[in-house]
Amino acid sequence: MRCGKMAAPAPAGGTAGAWGGARRRCQRLLYWVPVVFISSILCWSYYAYVTQLCLLTMTNIGEKVVCLVTYHIFFMLFIWSYWKTIFTLPMNPSKEFHLSYSDKESLEREPRGESQQEVLRRAAKDLPIYTRTMSGAIRYCDRCHLVKPDRCHHCSVCDKCILKMDHHCPWVNNCVGFSNYKFFLLFLAYSLLYCLFIAATDLQYFIKFWTNGLPDTQAKFHIMFLFFAAAMFSVSLSSLFGYHCWLVSKNKSTLEVFRAPIFRHRTDKNGFSLGFSKNLRQVFGDEKKYWLLPVFSSLGDGCSFPTCLVNQDSEQASTPAGLNSASKNENHLFPAKPLRDSQSHLLTDTPSWPEASAKAEKGKVGMSNPALTMENET
């Protein structure tokens, strides 16, 4: 008697995996809600300003032309920078920072201790990294299996390591980091100018409608609410834009404000600051004609950064006697490992504008590569 084959039961993991995939898709859709909200307000503001205020309420032709032309300039720059902030993919560490297959196997096979440290020493010995964990170990991401470059952090929302991560912004549904930080700054600047311009040109008509100086038409609601919205957003945007301008002047990220970079010798909150003009050029680039346009012009590759440390490493063997003590309280440019060409010139060139930190150029002292230890950090 031939027995028929019984169908194998569906694995329980398959149902759980399908449910998990559906949940992730729903989460990704929900992440777009703030972007849709901002876009809706922007579309309504365009209709309210162009149609209801300029075309239907303003009576002076010259005023109409000036307001419409200026408005559309701010509007296009606002849209352009917002679009670039949203859809510019965050940059991830290059392949040289990823562990090889054999190194990953060794790291998983060996118990924590000197063996694992030796694997990380081999992987990081030629990488331009200076920052450490709080315990002085190498910053290693056990989710991405890579040695973290300086200023790189793992984003829990994107589930990736992001170069020079500033923060994950829900209003753009994207991480703000090395690849789009300039776009984010311009987005804040042009959105602030957009709101200020609307509030300034709408004010007289807002007062007229408020005091019943104009007939009660459909435009009344749009013009009055437009002024309130523009004024409200101007206050919040001005504080946020001012804060990020301060960050640029100090060459800091939002994450570095809350946790200062830790170098081998000590924690240094100003370790990456090279002076105002050089800090500005790192974000906006050397060519001023691109500064106000949402096109990428930042210096470097996001994996290595010129570093200005406060104290000399006490273990530097090649430093001449007496130099360490003589320069103890001065800033030193710190190329301990090779920087990328696009960043190195910030340490050696002579800028055309005055430097606020000229004293930092006095002593350029090389330092030996720090001893490397490992600690998992996500």
Are residues 268 and 310 in contact, defined by beta-carbon separation less than 8 angstroms?
yes
Q: What is the mean pLDDT of residues 159-183?
A: 96
Q: Whose structure tokens read 């990380």? A: 120
User: Two tokens at 158?
Assistant: 């994107």
Using pLDDT thresholds of 50, 70 and 90, give the confidence band for residue 13.
low
Residue 186: pLDDT band with limits 50, 70, 90: very high
pLDDT at 34: 95
Given a contact cutoff of 8 angstroms between Cβ atoms, the answer to whether 263 and 369 are in contact is no
> 226 or 102, which is more confident?
226
Distance linking the first and last C-alpha atoms of the chain = 60
Quote the CA–CA distance of 248 and 280 in Å, as a whole number.
6
Over residues 169-173, the mean pLDDT reads 95
Report d(CA 143, CA 158) in Å as an integer. 12
- Bridge partners of 153, per DSSP, are 162
Report the alpha-carbon distance of residue 66 to residue 172 in Å, rounded. 31
Of 108-117, 167-176, 306-315, which range is least confident? 306-315
Q: Which of 18-32, 49-63, 229-243 has the lowest mean pLDDT?
A: 18-32
Pairing status of strand 374-376 against strand 160-162: unpaired
Question: Comparing 298 with 133, which gets the higher pLDDT?
Answer: 298
Instruction: Report how far apart, in Å, the C-alpha atoms of 233 and of each of 27, 54, 71, 166, 287 are.
Output: 27, 21, 17, 22, 31
Over the chain, what HEC string results?
CCCCCCCCCCCHHHHHHHHHHHHHHHHHHHCCHHHHHHHHHHHHHHHHHHHHHHHCCCCCHHHHHHHHHHHHHHHHHHHHHHHHHHHCCCCCCCHHHECCHHHHHHHHHCCCCHHHHHHHHHHHCCCCCCECCCCCCEEEECCCCEECCCCCEEECCCCEEECCCCEEECCCCEEECCCCHHHHHHHHHHHHHHHHHHHHHHHHHHHHHHCCCCCCCCHHHHHHHHHHHHHHHHHHHHHHHHHHHHHHHHCCCHHHHHCCCEECCCECCCCCCCCHHHHHHHHHCCCHHHCCCCCCCCCCCCCCCCCEECCCCCCCCCCCCCHHHHCCCCCEECCCCCCCHHHHHHHHCCCCCCCCCHHHHCCECCCCCCCCCEEECC
Does residue 2 surpass a pLDDT of 60? no
pLDDT level of residue 220 (50, 70, 90 thresholds) = confident
* Entry pTM: 0.80
Q: How confident is the model at residue 230 (pLDDT cuts 50, 70, 90)?
A: very high
Query: Contact 163/92 with Cβ under 8 angstroms?
Result: yes
Give the per-residue pLDDT at 357: 40
d(CA 376, CA 133): 9
Question: So which residues are the catalytic ones?
Answer: 169
pLDDT for 12 beyond 60 = no
Handedness of CA 285, 242, 131, 312 (dihedral sign): positive
Identify the burial level of 34 via C-beta atoms within 10 angstroms of its C-beta, where 0-12 means exposed, 13-18 middle and 19 or more buried.
Answer: middle
Residue 368, number of CB atoms within 10 A of its CB: 12
Q: For 89-133, how does the pLDDT look when each residue is reduced to its tens digit (9 = 90+)?
A: 999 999 999 988 888 887 787 766 667 777 787 888 888 888 988
pLDDT value of residue 123: 81
Amino acid identity, position 144: C
Say whether pLDDT at 160 is over 80.
Answer: yes
CA dihedral 27, 176, 169, 48 (to 10 degrees): -110
Q: Determine the average pLDDT of the residues in 133-146.
A: 86
* Res 151: pLDDT: 96
**How many angstroms separate the CA atoms of 321 and 134, rounded?**
30
pLDDT tens digit string along 359-376?
Answer: 433 333 333 333 333 344
Does pLDDT of 170 surpass 70? yes
Alpha carbon distance 214, 205 (integer Å): 8
Contact 333, 227 (CB under 8 A): no
Predicted pLDDT of residue 317: 33
Higher pLDDT, 205 or 310: 205
